[in-house]
Amino acid sequence: MDTPIERNENFFVEILKFSLIALLIVVPIRFFIAQPFVVSGASMSPAFEDGEYLVIDQLSYRFNEPQRGDVVIFRYPRDPRTYFIKRIVGLPGESLEMSGKTLYVRNDENPDGFALSEPYIAKENEQGNFFSVTLADDEYFVLGDNRAASSDSRVWGPLNEQYLIGRSFLRLIPLTHIGILPGDYRNAYTQ
């Protein structure tokens, strides 16, 4: 029969084993597969609102290239301790030109260019801009859906791929908006 001291020792050994196993499972998932992210600000409204809780997929971009329309989380190039959430509108090697409220994209498949359909931008969030940029082979052009309230590639330039963390995979909060791949409008693009 176990004494009270032996039972306490067994209990603590079991707790230690459980904690170690949990760490071995959770830590790699947190650092290499998925991580939490809380939206801060209105730059992605109406697709994402301030305070929403997301889970970021950090694994996909190790096997596939980011696509136009992906909502990505990345380290802000001017302060890598800060994280931003934006939408990819320009891919490596492309030329983009914005004239007023229309964004034109030129690439190898469309040398004459095409106007990007952006149905995720609410009419009240549209903002006229004028710029032209050609992206390097390791750069993306990212914009907030709420252009009037977004600090994005129009302000600080193209995003180098080294700053990409992952894409928005799951929205958990608010409970009324739970969903997989929130903000995905990929099928809305026209060429």
Q: Which residues are catalytic?
A: 43, 86
Residue 187: alpha-carbon gap to chain centroid:
18
In the 3-class helix/strand/coil scheme, how is the chain assigned residue by residue?
A: CCCHHHHHHHHHHHHHHHHHHHHHHHHHHHHHHEEEEECCCCCCCCCCCCCCEEEEECCHHHCCCCCCCCEEEEEECCEEEEEEEEEEEECCCCEEEEEECEEEEECCCCCCCEECCCCCCCHHHCCCEEEEEECCCCEEEEECCCHHHCCCHHHHCCEEHHHEEEEEEEEEECHHHCEECCCCCHHHCCC
